[in-house]
Structure formats: structure tokens, C-alpha cells
Structure 1
Amino acid sequence: MKIFTAEQIRNGDEYTIKNEPVSSVQLMERAAQACVDWIFENCKNHRNFAVFCGKGNNGGDGFAIARMLHLKGFDVDVFTNSKAKFSSDAGNNFRELKEFSGVFIREFKEAKEYRFDNRTVIIDALFGTGLSKNIEGEFKELIDFLNLKSNLKISVDMPSGLFADTVSDENATIFKADYTLSFQFWKKTFLHPETGKYAGKVKVLDININEDYIAETKTEDFVIHEDMIKDIFRPREDFSHKGTYGKAIIAGGSYGKMGAAVLATKSALRTGAGLTFTLAPKCGYEILQTSNPEAMFIEGGNDFIDHFETDEHAVCGIGPGLGTIDETAKSFLTFLKNYSKPLVLDADALNIISQDSKNVKIIPKNSIITPHPKEFERLFGATENSFERLKLAKNKAKELGIYIVLKDHHTQVVTPEGDAFYNITGNSGLAKGGSGDILTGILTSFSAQHYSEKEAAVLGVWFHGRAAELASEKHSKESVLPTDIIDEFGSVFKELNAKIERAL
């Protein structure tokens, strides 16, 4: 699914109006109806709606939503500046709304005297994607007031005060929604930690923007969508054997850190690699052979790895629990200088590389690296915010010819072409040691199974997140363990296979 800028979204509206038999008011009606359908389905325990409408088209959406909610039998109060100079379509919807005697239209200043009971939903339709400056004056006071309310809050298309494409000022006033009903597209700011926290849970509603416009309009930013995953995923062939699904080598572990190698190995096994090996120090032999008897052991040292052995026909994932002592670091960097096939690099492999800025140049082309924000900073330098970090990641991916899996709440897969694919599966249950190790196992396994590096990275982060969602449903986000997530891999594969079968 493409992510468009605010300007591209406006152009899409205009293109749709120009090339289809639909007026701007009718397109607004579509958007409002999509919102009301969602609200009707998901807010059945609420009876009252307080709808706050600005003077632009976002306010016009709000006026139409208020009218439709009233017709469905809800009690609706609309707050606006009745003396404002409304946009053409907003004005039309405002005048139409005034004809409904059951809808109370109030001035913004009346909000402070309004009784917000626990069955009242606050709907924010003050400012949409056209906002170009920070909110001030009466709107700042109004939003600050509404943010203090404990009522369920829903924003129409965008939380008011939030920009679509860029980070907001630290002290900006922004409506804090529980849900954002976004029209047709994700906005970039929904996907970054500094700004996404204002959007709450995002629901993207289809309002039938012209398909030709969507297909022909270029962007570098995408959301990983289930349709994309179905196109990538290849069900297991009946007439196949272990050689069909490649060899995966997990290189990691050191004295006291064997658990990381265990998790990565178990993850690679559970995601379908034909043969899985673990390159680890001798101190981990019994641990690994006991915990993962299906994997073969390659000795790489005594208490830490001091030499790297690989198979030219295997894909190697390096880093979980590796440690950064001098002998390991020296051996690993020597290996990198003499190795040309793509690798999966994580954790201490990245920490060793970051010890000298020149080391990034010896990462083999088309490798997948998986830094969290601090590891990324050590590799490539500090940035002011996650938007700047992504920009730098795109530059580095192009410069080095590598794939960067930039781990975050919405992990981004950054390609050598400069594209970014945001993952929207997963949850805070992954905020726990070991989660990154199982991702390394997934990526190594998928790469071994002859998925391209891009396919392995996109499918891998989606798969990782989806398994975490299923595990959290059983154990809670607080209690879920990385091993619980691995246990759900089979359920994710079952879902994928079922979707493929239904599509046939």
C-alpha cells in the first residue's frame, strides 16, 4: 500500500473528481459515510456524539458525519464557529445540517459548559491534511481542553494539529485520538514514534480514490499490506526435499549469551530452512544440541567464536550473543573482508562493525542489517528524530547497496533503491530481549529458502510481528516471551496458506 504526501492526496481527490462521475461534495459524502459505517459498527455502546468541526473540508466531513449519525438515531451535538467563512463544500454541509431540528449546533466556547458523560464520543474534524502551521489561539485552548477529557476520541482523517508528512514541533498542540479514521491511505506521521502516538489505532477507510491515479503516482514509502505478503509468500511444494529449502547458518553465542543463539536457531528451524547449522563456541555445544537437536553444530572456538567457517551454498546470519571481545571482533572483520555473499547481520555483529566507521564499507552488497535505533546511531551517526533517521537510512542503503531493517514500533525495511516499507504488524510485546534474535533467525531462514533479500526482509518483519500478535493474545503483551512468539510461527503459516488457497 502506497503512502502519499498531503499534496499527493489532494491531487488524488482532484483527479478522482475530474475523471469519474463524482463531485467534490459527493466524494466528501463517501468519506463521511465510510466513517459512520465504522462508528456504527464499533461504537454501539455509545449514544452521544460531540462533533467538533472546523471551517475547511475536514469540518465538512464532520458536518456530514453528524447528519448521518443523527439519521441513525444517535444524539449529536456539533461545535463550530457558525460565523466562520467555510470552504464551499463545508458550507453546503453546514447549511444542510442546520435543517435537522434534532441536531444541536453550538459555538466552540460552549464546550467548556457541555456535559461530557461516559457515553459521549468526541469526534475531531477541526483540521485535516491541509494544516501548514502550529495551532494557536482558541483552537489551541479547545484542543488542550478536549485532550483532558477521558471520553473516547475519534479523529477524522488526521488528528488536528498533526502534519501528514513531517515531525511536529516538540510543544505543538495536537489532538490525541484513540482512533483515527484515515481516508484511503496511511499518512507518514502515523508510523513514527514522535507523531504516531497522537493517532491511536489507525483504521484506513476505502473511499474509492481513482485506481489509475494510485497506480501511476510514484512514492518511495509503502505500508506492508497483506496483499503484498500473499504475493511474496510461496507455499511449500509437495514434491520437494530438504535441499529445496536451503541451508541456514546462525553464527553467534558466547559464554553467558548462548540463549541468543538458541533463539535464533530455533527461529530459523521453525520458519522452514531445509538444513540449519549453528556456528558457536564449544561452551554452547550441549545447550544447543539439547535445545535444538534438529540443528547441526559447528565449533567456532571455546568460550567465544574466534574463527568463522561457512558453506558457500548457505546463508549466514551473524550476531546474536556473539560478544565483542578482541578475538571475535578481529576474526569477524577478517571474515567480512574476504566474504562477498549477502549476510544477515544483527546485534554484536553490528556493534563490532560500528567500532570503526570504515567497517561499514566491507558489508557485502545486498546484505540485510537489522539495527535498533541506538545500533543505527553507532553505525551511521545521530539524527534529531526518526524522520531524519529514516532519511539517513535511505542514503546509506543506496550508498552501501544493502537492506536496512530499521527496528522500531513500525519497523522500516529500507532498500538500496531508497524505498521504505513500514511494517504494521506486532506490538509492544516485542519490546523484550530476544525478540531481535528470533527476527535474525527468520530473515536467515527465508533468505536460505531463495527469497530475494527484499522479499525476505519484507516477509520476515511482517511474519515476526504477526506471530507476536498471536502470542500476545494468549499470554498478554507484558508476559509474552520470544519462545512464545516462535511457538506461533505455525499459526502464521496456517493463516498464509489458507489465504493463498482461498485466492485460487
Structure 2
Amino acid sequence: MQRVADSCVNWISNKFKEKENFYIFCGNGNNGGGGFALAKIMYHNGFDITVFLNENENFSKDAASNLKKIKQISGIDIFDFNDAATFNFKENAVIIDAVFGTGLNRRTNKKEVDLITFLNGVKLPKVSIDMPSGLLADQMITDQTVIFKADETLSFQFWKKTFLHPETGIYCGKVHILDISLSEEFIQDEITSDYVIDDLLIHRIYKTRSEFSHKGNFGKTTIIAGSFGRVGAAVLAVKAALKTGSGLTFVHAPKCGYEILQTSCPEAIYLYGGENHHDRFQIDHDTVVGIGPSLGINTDTESAFLDFLKSCDQPMVLDADALNIISRHSQFLARIPENSIITPHPKEFERLFGITENSFDRVELAREKAAELGIYIVLKDHHTQIITPEKDVFYNITGNSGMAKGGSGDALLGIITSLLAQNYSSKDAAIFGVWLHGKAGDLAAEKFSKEAMLPTDLINELGMVFKSLA
């Protein structure tokens, strides 16, 4: 509890140097105990501290011990939760929520609901300790649940699953994971199937290039994409594949896109796929295929694609219209080669596998389907999830809302296909590819803003990401 308080004080002191008053709302459990400890340290560091608590509740042993200590400090004012509604909050202040943490295992009572509802309406910066009060660590919420709406959440050692799902993550604001030196032995022994993609994992995956190498060492990538009026998707996928390090890159597209592709992607080799849409797929067996962006669902394209799928036995990457065609012929799901990677957004996933009530249920269904089909599912979202045939889930924490533009998914397909061609395993290609895509998107947003950044800006930042890795 002391380590929690110390780490929070350091962060809050750096973030809110200009703030004078801190209003700390403490529950009766260990999260409240951490709030009391935080109040004591911040007071001794020179901040004006006011504590609110529920006087009618029994406190946990540690919370009671820390409460006793702050009651001995005359400079800390203590009020009941009920007093908050009539309290005169100063402008240069911060609200700190330490009411409930991960230990919450019951519904909030009326007094707590009224407090959280009131605080959500107060126009001051808000910080939650451990997690926003009312939120559960790894479960979906009900429509009736009242949750503290934080601007910043200070959590400890590891992400909580609810931080990473859209229905619940919206309450957390910006999440900061603070190190409180939990037992390394405990961490290693703890069994889980949920992971966050962190820098340590990426450095284990990333392969540096040998100086004694040539283009043949970095694979053959074939992007199958585009149709009349929609050749841009092929351009984005090909450029992303090239920027990710593909040794030889081919683009299989209709003739209507020939000049565009040869002009915009001179490094790629053009393969004829038809006149205005794909009506044939003549692909070498020693290449890794990424297929789907703006492919179209023309009858000829659909028929040729399904025939192509029957003949394939090597892992490939499937997106967009390739998945939409399969969703119309569900028996072809079983034709997807083992260890392939599919990259659906939620609606494409729904068309493939059925409707789920929420994103938590969607991940569980994805676990079952990945295991059943022997494939990797890249479920695109704000925190994209990579689901393995072993039913492990890897959550990505790079990326931003500036990437919510048409063309971002085309770039992702090119990145992952290029990595697969370079002999990364399907698992590593999916994890590394999603992380790269998000990291480049973050650099593009810093440079151009979330509103103005384009998928082409993201692709152009891939080089900076690789430089940082090297």
C-alpha cells in the first residue's frame, strides 16, 4: 500500500505541479487505504489536502490504520461523502478517486452511486487510483452501472482487461501503469491467457538484418487487391509491404490500375488479374499472399477467389472483401489454410462468425473460432486483439483514433503479409505487425495531428519505428 501511495505521489506531483488543492475520495477497503496514505504523503509534500469518506462504513484493517494516521494531522480536513454535494470546490484543484479498486465484488449502494454521479458533473481534472470506481477489472458492465469518469487512471504493474475494451475503457481516460515491484516469482508463476503487447515482447520478436544478406533472404510478398475506382487500397497495401522490408513484392491487380501502380509503387512487380476486376488468381507457390483490400465482390471475382482458396495450403493474410466473400459461403471457412491470419473489423467478424452482445463476448467467440480453424484472428479495435489457435489473446496498446480512416486496414494487411514473407511465424507476424502499425500511427499523429494524419503518413513513419528498434 505504501509503494502504491509513493508511486502515485510521484506521478501526481509531476503532472499537476501548478495545482494547489487535492480532494481525495476514499472507500473503506484497501483502495481507500491507499488514498489515505496518499493524502498523508501529499500533505507533507506541501499540498492542500481534503479527504472525503463514508463515515458509516467499517474499514479494512489497513485502511483503518492509515485513516487513524491522517486524523492525527490537523491540516487535513475530513468530510463525509454526503457533504460533497454542497461543498465549495476550488478551481485550481484535482479530484482523486480512491473509492473502489480491483477488489470491488458487489453492487454500489445509493450513497456511493449519488457520490459518483455528482463527481462526474464536477468540472475539475479527475484521477482514479487503481481503476475508476464502479468498474470491474475483467467483466462487462450493465446498463445500470454508475462509474466514475476519470481523465487519468493510475493502475499498477499490469493492465486490467476492462481498460482495453471500448464499452469500459471509455471511463479510464489515459491509463498509466506504475511499477510497484510485485514479486517476480509470483508474476512468472501466475497462469494467464491474456497479454499486453509491450516493448519487451517486441524486442524478442524483432529480427535484425544480417549485413551479408540479399533480397532473396526477405521473402516474396504478393498483394492481391483493388478493382475499378478502388486501386488506392492496393497502393497502400503494397507501399506498407515495401516499407516493412519485403524482399520481392508483387501486386496482383486489374489492368485498370496498371499505370497507377507502376507509377506509385515502381519497386513492385505487376501481375495481371483481369481488366476492371479480378477474374483470375495465378500466384506462384513460393510467395506469401495478402488478399482482400477493395477486391470487390463481383461474381467473377467471387468464383475465382473461392477456386483459389481451394488450391491453397500455405498460410496467407485475408482482409476486407476476401472475408466478405467467405462470409457469404461459410463452408469455405474450413478452406482457410492453417496458421493463416485474418484481420476483420467488428462488423466483418460478425458476418463471419455471428453476432455477440459486446466486445468481451466477441473475444471469447474469437478464441473458439481461432482454435477450431487453426488460424490467427486480428480483431481490429482501438486496442486490437490478436487471438491465437491456443486461445491466447494479445492486446495492442499502440495506435490512436487518427487511424480511424479508410486505408489504415489496407496498410495493416501489407505490413503483416510482408513480415510473414520474411519468415516471421504467423503469431509473431500478427503481433509485431499490429504493434508496428499502431506505433507508426502514433508518430504520424504527433507530426500531423489525429485529424489530419493519413494512412500514407503512417506508412511513411514505419522507417522511424524500425530505426528506434535497431
TM-score, structure 2 length as denominator? 0.99
* Alignment correspondent of 1:230: 203
Select the residue among 285, 290, 312 that pairs with 1:317: 290
* Alignment correspondent of 1:64: 37
* Alignment correspondent of 1:278: 251
Matched, 1:429 2:402: yes
* Alignment correspondent of 1:383: 356
Select the residue among 428, 436, 449 that pairs with 1:463: 436
Structure 2: tracts of 5 or more residues without a match: none
Matched, 1:296 2:263: no
Q: Which moved more, 1:125-134 or 1:270-279?
A: 125-134
Distance in 1, matches of 2:81 and 2:143, equals 26
Contact 1:270 1:486 in 2 (8 A): yes
- 1:83 CA displacement: 4.1
* Alignment correspondent of 1:115: 88
Residues 54-111 of structure 1 deviation map (CA, whole Å, 9 limit, x = unaligned): 1011100000001111111000000012342100000000001111111111111111
Distance in 2, matches of 1:301 and 1:121, equals 63
Structure 1: tracts of 5 or more residues without a match: 1-27, 498-504
Distance in 1, matches of 2:139 and 2:245, equals 40
Letter in 1 for 2:171: Y
Select the residue among 345, 348, 352 that pairs with 2:321: 348
* Alignment correspondent of 2:153: 180
Matches within 5 A, 1:346-495: 346-495=319-468
Q: Which SS does the other structure have where 1:391 is aligned?
A: helix
* Alignment correspondent of 2:229: 256
Residues 276-309 of structure 1 deviation map (CA, whole Å, 9 limit, x = unaligned): 0000011111010000000000001110111112
* Alignment correspondent of 2:70: 97
Letter in 1 for 2:117: D
Select the residue among 67, 91, 114 that pairs with 1:141: 114
* Alignment correspondent of 1:4: none
Matched, 1:53 2:51: no
Letter in 2 for 1:407: K
Letter in 1 for 2:465: V
Distance in 2, matches of 1:267 and 1:384, equals 34
Distance in 2, matches of 1:272 and 1:301, equals 28
Contact 1:177 1:199 in 2 (8 A): yes
Distance in 1, matches of 2:331 and 2:122, equals 53
Letter in 2 for 1:292: C
- 1:236 CA displacement: 1.7
Distance in 1, matches of 2:376 and 2:167, equals 24
Distance in 2, matches of 1:83 and 1:131, equals 18
* Alignment correspondent of 1:220: 193
Distance in 2, matches of 1:158 and 1:380, equals 32
Q: Which moved more, 1:120-129 or 1:132-141?
A: 132-141
Select the residue among 283, 286, 311 that pairs with 1:338: 311
Letter in 2 for 1:244: N
Distance in 2, matches of 1:376 and 1:133, equals 33
Q: Which SS does the other structure have where 2:328 is aligned?
A: coil
Q: Which SS does the other structure have where 2:386 is aligned?
A: strand
Distance in 2, matches of 1:233 and 1:117, equals 50
Letter in 1 for 2:122: K
Distance in 1, matches of 2:57 and 2:5, equals 21
Select the residue among 118, 136, 143 that pairs with 1:170: 143
Q: Which moved more, 1:115-124 or 1:62-71?
A: 115-124
Select the residue among 57, 60, 71 that pairs with 1:84: 57
Distance in 1, matches of 2:41 and 2:310, equals 66
- 1:314 CA displacement: 1.1
Q: Which SS does the other structure have where 1:405 is aligned?
A: strand
Q: Which SS does the other structure have where 1:336 is aligned?
A: helix
- 1:117 CA displacement: 2.7
* Alignment correspondent of 1:22: none
Q: Which moved more, 1:233-242 or 1:127-136?
A: 127-136
* Alignment correspondent of 1:10: none
Letter in 2 for 1:494: K
Distance in 1, matches of 2:40 and 2:189, equals 35
* Alignment correspondent of 2:278: 305
Q: In the comparison of the two structures, how many residue pairs are matched?
A: 470
Q: Which SS does the other structure have where 1:285 is aligned?
A: helix
Distance in 2, matches of 1:359 and 1:149, equals 54
Distance in 1, matches of 2:268 and 2:150, equals 48
Distance in 2, matches of 1:154 and 1:427, equals 21
* Alignment correspondent of 1:125: 98
CA RMSD of aligned residues (A): 0.8
- 1:176 CA displacement: 0.5
Distance in 2, matches of 1:270 and 1:401, equals 29
Matched, 1:329 2:316: no
Distance in 1, matches of 2:376 and 2:387, equals 6
Letter in 2 for 1:91: A
Letter in 1 for 2:158: F
Distance in 2, matches of 1:113 and 1:266, equals 59
Distance in 2, matches of 1:42 and 1:277, equals 49
Distance in 2, matches of 1:318 and 1:154, equals 44
Contact 1:134 1:173 in 2 (8 A): no
Percent sequence identity is 58
Q: Which SS does the other structure have where 2:305 is aligned?
A: helix
Distance in 2, matches of 1:69 and 1:89, equals 19
- 1:492 CA displacement: 0.6
Q: Which SS does the other structure have where 2:285 is aligned?
A: coil
Aligned structure 1 segments of 4 or more residues deviating by more than 3 angstroms:
none
Residues 236-284 of structure 1 deviation map (CA, whole Å, 9 limit, x = unaligned): 2211111111110000110011000000000001110001000001111
Letter in 1 for 2:216: G
Distance in 2, matches of 1:388 and 1:129, equals 21
Residues 347-366 of structure 1 deviation map (CA, whole Å, 9 limit, x = unaligned): 00000000022121111100
